[in-house]
């Protein structure tokens, strides 16, 4: 079992729709969770982090964390073609203090 | 505030050679982590330095090494290069170490290494 799992996609949504990206992790004790956006040929850019159960909103982005289910998600409201990128979920493993990345989900927003 | 900088941005080396990559973190950040990114393996953790000490290490061979200087700048060295070392090498800085629950990392632009 991978430590951090994401569906590779691509996830295709029409412009203006809500894009929902999901991530599961194996270390039950993990406390810190991050979402990065990576455009093709560029480095990852931190867009959200969440440390507590529940929802955290920042503009069009909402991160959701459910520690009991070991599940973290990212919602992008009013998706724009410029949101088309690969979204990486990262989890700070409680057991090793390493930041482990999922393989990423490619999002395609159709105009 | 200036972001994370990495030099060089592109590098072509031959098998068997060695290479040194450099990373300057965001001002005030004391943690620098290095990652290797390839299409097949994704983003793989190499090591983390905090206040000149290696705090954490990934599962890479000993050919991969690093260090951090007193000004928090970090270098990564790969000796005896192999074709499989061709990758994007990313460094990321944070104000705290991996032992802290607040560990937002910010990436530099990366160094694209090609081994021929």
- Give pLDDT < 70 ranges for chain A: none
Chain B residues whose beta carbon lies within 8 Å of the beta carbon of residue A101: 35, 42-43, 45
> How many helices (H) does chain B have, and how many strands (E)?
0, 11
Residue with tokens 């973290």: A72
Residue B46: closest CA among B37, B35, B38:
B35
Give the pLDDT confidence of A72-94 residue by residue, as tens digits. Answer: 999 999 999 999 999 999 998 87
Q: What confidence score (pLDDT) does residue B16 get?
A: 98
Give the pLDDT confidence of B13-56 residue by residue, as tens digits. Answer: 999 999 999 999 999 999 999 999 998 888 999 999 999 999 88
Chain B residues whose beta carbon lies within 8 Å of the beta carbon of residue A32: 101-103
Nearest-by-Cβ selection for A97 from B43, B56, B108: B56
Give the pLDDT confidence of B57-87 residue by residue, as tens digits. Answer: 999 999 999 999 999 999 999 999 999 999 9
Q: What is the mean pLDDT of residues B100-109?
A: 84
Q: Is the CB of B60 inside 8 Å of chain A's CB atoms?
A: no
């Amino acid at each position: 079992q991978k430590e951090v799992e994401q569906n590779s996609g691509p996830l295709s949504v029409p412009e203006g729709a809500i894009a929902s990206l999901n991530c599961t992790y194996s270390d039950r004790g993990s406390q810190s969770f991050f979402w990065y956006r990576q455009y093709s040929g560029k480095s990852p850019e931190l867009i959200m982090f969440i440390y507590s159960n529940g929802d955290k909103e920042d503009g069009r982005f909402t991160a959701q964390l459910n520690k009991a289910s070991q599940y973290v998600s990212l919602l992008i409201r009013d998706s724009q073609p410029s949101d088309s990128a690969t979204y990486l979920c990262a989890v700070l493993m409680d057991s090793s203090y390493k930041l482990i990345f999922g393989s990423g989900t490619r999002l395609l927003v159709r105009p | 505030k200036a972001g994370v900088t990495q030099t060089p941005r592109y590098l072509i080396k031959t098998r068997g050679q060695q290479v040194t990559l450099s990373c300057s973190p965001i001002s005030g950040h004391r943690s620098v982590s290095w990652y290797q990114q390839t299409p097949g393996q994704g983003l793989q953790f190499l090591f983390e330095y905090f206040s000149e000490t290696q705090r954490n290490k990934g599962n890479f061979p000993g050919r991969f090494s690093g260090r951090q200087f007193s000004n928090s700048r970090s270098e990564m060295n790969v000796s005896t290069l192999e074709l499989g070392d061709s990758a994007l090498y990313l460094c990321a800085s944070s104000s705290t170490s991996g032992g802290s629950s607040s560990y937002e990392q910010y990436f530099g632009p990366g160094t694209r290494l090609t081994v021929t």
